[in-house]
Structure 1
Amino acid sequence: MLIRFEVSNYRSIAEGVELSMVAVDRDREAARDAPRLGESLLTRAAIYGPNASGKSNVVAALAWLRHAVENSLRLWEDRIPLEPFAFGPTQGGCSEFVIETTVDGVRFEYVVELDAHHISYEGLFHYPERKRRRIFEREGSELKLQRGLGALSGTRELLTERTLALSAARRFDEPLVTNFAREVLNIQVLGQLPHLSRAGGIFPWWGSYHHKTDTFLWFDGLENDQQLLVPFVGKGEAAAGDEGRDWSTLSGRQQALALLRLADLGIEDVVIDRQEFVSTDGGTVTQRRLRLLHRSGNESAPLDFAAESEGTKTWFGLIGTVLTALRAGSIVIFDELDASLHPTLSAELLRVFQSPVTNPHGAQLIFTSHDTSLLNHLNRDEVWLTEKQPDGSTRLGALAEFAGERVRKSQNLESAYLHGRFGALPQVDQTEFLRALGLIG
């Protein structure tokens, strides 16, 4: 599980900002005990703030780090695809990323400092007995390894000034490295977050459509693949037709269907069949066809997926990602949750990640939103606020400790936020607009 993430000098982020998943209020479902830390970790975190305040950049930085670990060895030949803060004293300096997670209950810490041309520092540490121990540490081209990790010696041969040691070291059979790297690579992204292409460029990526294929696999007869099964435990509320069933007895397909029905979209089943059509060269082509079976009164009829509403497509598209995260206990980043889902569905998604019944392995949902109604489903330590500073940089603050004053646990968060109690609201001034229209002098 993610403990904390820190980033500096990235896009609108100048000085370091930190997102912490350590719970303030520990005795509740969404706070999972981490005995070896002596803390509880949260399964949900929401980031609120005005447009252009940088909330998307906070989660984009975490997505960027995942991309870096996966691709630096293969793709970073000429330059490092990094967007530093464009103004002020940090311009031209190094960007820094720090991530702390638990792997099998043990705390790991990974730090990297780099610019567009080279990696200046990198280190991976763990705390097997609450005392920090180095796994590897790298300054420039010099790499130091923990004693006894001879399996990683080949890492040095793969290093370049633009290759992460973690990317190279994960190629070798050393569980300390591969298990941590897997934790980072399991991070999944949904929503409208700009993503990095294989060539390192930025392009807008609509995650709900992209992940339709992932959901497709859960319905396409792969429910017997143990890697796709989510080991739900205990009993809890499921969707219509599954009430009172033990989720641990459901196949992967049944779990996906239960999550689809949870949205109450009038869908009974998912039909995947084959359709033949004549190609331009006169040959016959067979293609899989996806249809959703809708009920209407006493009748049911399949509807082509392309004809479904955007809301239904979005919910369908996220099912594979969510179930995979619940199975692995991994992180899901969802940018602009309210732009993709109806508030009722967003609230259901929060409940899925909150409950130990549906989320027994501590998967974590980190999302940005403008939907203040969701604040009624969140605790004070699950909410973070961004503001745009005078120099254009992003400030990130925890609502639980807003302005140095602890927010009461009983506080009505939505009402207080909308009344400006926590700041982080758009500053609306129509003076220039009205003057441009000639309506005022």
Structure 2
Amino acid sequence: GYFERMLRKYRFKNFFSFLEETEVSLTVSSHVPDAYSIAKDDRGQRVSKVLAVLGANASGKTNVLKPVVFVHWFVSHSFQLQPDAPIPLQPHAEAMDQPSEFETEFCLDDEVWRYRVVLTTKRVLEESLHRKTSSQFSYVFVRKWSQASKGYEFKQKKDFGLKAAEVIDARQNASVLSIAAQYGVDIATKLGHFEIASNIDFAGRMVNDSNYIGRLGAYYHKNPDHRKHMEALLRRWDLGFHGVEFEEVIPNPEKPEEKAIMMYGVHKGRTGPFRLGFRQESSGTVALFSLLAKLLPVLRKGGMAIIDELESDLHPLMLEPVLDLFFNERTNPHNAQLLFTCHAAEVLKHLHKCQVLLVEKNAHCESEAWRLDSVKGVRVDDNLYAKYLAGAYSAVPEFH
């Protein structure tokens, strides 16, 4: 087999609290023993299905995930910006006048790709896509801003085939890939379909508004397969939970054509089943419903879930069954990946040291990140949980 779609690594510089170049890698060396949480293809490439990000409050944990969300948006949707709109980019506070840089390396349909972009809020300065052929990368397209001509130098390989290349000068705030997808370029369309589900955007964690439960209900109502999977998991995880029922209602009698879906949790009582409106359910049950609405589509099709505060409103013992959804071939047939931040150090009991990224902010308000297996003296048989809590790896809150 091969990797249908997996993120291998990414680098970024001058973005939110990260000033210096930072690399986050999900590739796994041959020294790490085989495990269900590590995907392996026929060529011996090994990529982790999970990466946990740990660190103190305000260390930059969420910011280390934002580059993936930003690049995915930029590649897929930046064409939707008005041509003169600023690019929604947040450089580090001390380098606001400097460009930000991003590079991602990923597998898609048995090929390895590398995408790079350097930009300011005003325009793209450099952008390129490379494809790995044999042992090296060769360009698919390269775009560079020329200050002298106030336009782009652009070269592309034949198989990219963007016939309307002149539109690139007019769209300085959009990626070549999002432009090319509008013109039916196959490679651009294919790369735009790399599935990412997240509870953050590049501004931060999304806040659930008052219509959130209604949207959840509509999602499960429209996706009966996901609903069945969700119900089976919650029956296994949640004592007394029996299933979900839906009811179509008309909130405003003056507009009978506008219908809404009401969702009820069905529970087993002493005298038989009873229903609870979803706003009456526990925060833990609602958190699981919400989380599964993000995870199940990615598990079914492949791609990536990026979740800030995975354990939010969940019992610490729920972390293991949620991770198991990604570790199990039956529930994760396409090697979907999970990147998440977490405060619950218990997660270290379920992961190899190569699957943990530690984040810390220095005295100059600059975040730094490093993989736990890069820390000298961390042994495979170490109790990572106990040592992390004891402060052996840094990245824990200090109380004075």
TM over 0.5: yes
Instruction: Give 3-state SS (helix, strand or coil) of 2:166's partner.
Output: helix
Which of 3, 7, 14 is the aligned partner of 1:9? 14
What per-residue deviation string (whole Å, max 9, x for no partner) do you get for residues 167-220 of structure 1?
A: 11122333332222211xx21112xx4x35xxxxx4751369887567545642
* Contact in 2 for aligned 1:6/1:17 (Cα 8 Å): yes
Q: Which residue number in structure 2 is paired with residue 153 of structure 1?
A: 163
Structure 1 residue 337, shift from structure 2 partner: 1.7
For 1:51, which of 46, 52, 57 is the aligned residue? Answer: 57
**Paired position in structure 2 for 1:268:** 242
**Aligned length in residues:** 385
2:76–2:177 CA contact under 8 A, matched in 1 = no
1:425 correspondence with 2:379: no
Equivalent AA in structure 1 for residue 247 of structure 2: D
- C-alpha distance in 1, partners of 2:46/2:252? 59
Distance 1:96 1:285 in 2: 46
Seen in structure 2, the aligned counterparts of structure 1 residues 56 and 282 have a Cα distance that, compared at 3 Å, is: closer
Distance 2:183 2:237 in 1: 43
Q: Is the 8 A contact 1:219 1:270 kept in 2?
A: no
CA–CA separation in structure 1 for the residues paired with 2:142 and 2:118: 12
Instruction: Tell me which of 141, 148, 158 is aligned to 1:136.
Output: 141
Query: Are the equivalent residues in 2 in contact too, given 1:211–1:317 (CA < 8 A)?
Result: no
Deviation at 1:91, TM superposition (A): 4.2
Residue aligned with 1:135, SS: strand
Compared with structure 1, are the counterparts of its residues 369 and 208 closer, same or farther at alpha carbon in structure 2 (3 Å cutoff)? farther
> Secondary structure at the residue paired with 2:51?
strand
**For the Cα contact (< 8 Å) 1:10–1:85, is it kept in 2?**
yes
> Among 387, 391, 396, which residue is 1:416 paired with?
387
Q: What amino acid is the match of 1:62?
A: V
Measure the CA separation in 2 of the matches of 1:104 and 1:211: 35
Q: Does 1:302 align with 2:275?
A: yes
Q: Please tell me the residue identity of whatever aligns with 2:142.
A: E
- Secondary structure at the aligned position of 1:270 is classed as strand
Distance 1:126 1:10, change over 3 A: same
**1:365 corresponds to:** 338
Tell me how large the CA RMSD over aligned residues is: 2.4
Which residue type is aligned with residue 268 of structure 1? H
- Report the equivalent of 1:32: 39
Q: Does 2:186 match 1:175? A: yes
Q: What TM-score does the superposition give when structure 2 sets the normalisation length?
A: 0.89
Please report how far the alpha carbon of residue 30 of structure 1 lies from its aligned counterpart in structure 2 after TM superposition: 0.7
Aligned in 2, Cα 1:85/1:5: closer, same or farther, shift over 3 Å?
same
After the TM superposition, which residues 399-410 of structure 1 pair with which residues of structure 2 at under 5 Å, given as runs?
A: 399-402=372-375, 405-410=376-381
Verify the 8 A CA contact 1:5 1:97 in the aligned structure 2. yes
Cα pair 2:160 2:187 within 8 Å, conserved: no
CA distance change for structure 1 residues 418 and 274 in 2, over 3 Å: closer, same or farther? same
In structure 2, the partner of 1:117 is: 122
C-alpha deviation, 1:96, in angstroms:
0.5
Corresponding position of 1:82: 89
**In the alignment, is residue 96 of structure 1 matched against residue 101 of structure 2?**
yes
What are the Cα deviations for residues 40-62 of structure 1, in whole angstroms up to 9, with x where unaligned? Answer: 11111001111111111011222
* TM-score, structure 1 normalization: 0.81
Local SS of the residue matching 1:170: helix
Deviation at 1:109, TM superposition (A): 0.6
Alpha-carbon offset, residue 155 of structure 1 = 4.3
> Does the alignment pair 1:220 with 2:245?
no
Q: Secondary structure at the match of 2:357?
A: strand
Q: Give the C-alpha shift of residue 358 in structure 1.
A: 1.1
Taking structure 1 as reference, are residues 343 and 211 closer, same or farther at Cα in structure 2, changes over 3 Å only?
A: farther
Q: Report the CA distance shift for 1:283/1:382 in structure 2 as closer, same or farther (over 3 A).
A: closer
**CA spacing shift, 1:5–1:282, aligned 2, 3 Å:** closer
Name which of structure 1's ranges 68-77 and 361-370 shifts more when overlaid on structure 2: 68-77
Asked whether the 8 Å contact 1:143–1:156 carries over to 2, the reply is no
Per-residue CA deviation, residues 371-399 of structure 1 (Å, 9 max, x unaligned), is: 11111111111111011122211110010
Query: Which residue of structure 2 aligns with residue 245 of structure 1?
Result: none
Question: In the TM superposition, what is the alpha-carbon distance from 1:303 to its structure 2 partner?
Answer: 0.9
Partner secondary structure for residue 67 of structure 1: helix
**Distance in 2 of aligned mates of 1:209 and 1:48:** 30
Answer yes or no: is the 8 Å Cα contact 1:218–1:252 preserved in 2: no
Aligned-partner SS, 2:182: coil
The letter of the residue matching 2:243 is D
The residue that corresponds to 1:344 in the other structure is 317
Question: Of the candidates 196, 214, 223, which is equivalent to residue 187 of structure 1?
Answer: 196
Unaligned runs of at least 5 residues, structure 1: 197-201, 224-250, 430-441
Q: Deviations over 1:4-51 (max 9, x none)?
A: 011110010001111111124141111111334x42111110011111
Mapping of 1:197-216 within 5 angstroms? 202=203, 205-206=206-207, 216=217
SS at match of 2:93: coil
Alpha-carbon spacing, 1:282–1:317, altered in 2? closer, same or farther (3 Å): closer
Are residues 215 and 34 of structure 1, via their aligned partners in 2, closer, same or farther at CA, if it must alter by over 3 Å? farther
CA contact (8 A) 2:242 2:267 kept: yes
Residue correspondence of structure 1 range 229-268 to structure 2 within 5 A:
251-268=225-242
Match of 2:3 in 1: none
Over residues 59-80 of structure 1, what are the superposed CA-to-partner deviations in whole Å (9 max), with x where a residue is unaligned? 1222122222233211153211
Q: Which runs of 5+ in 2 are unaligned?
A: 1-5, 146-151
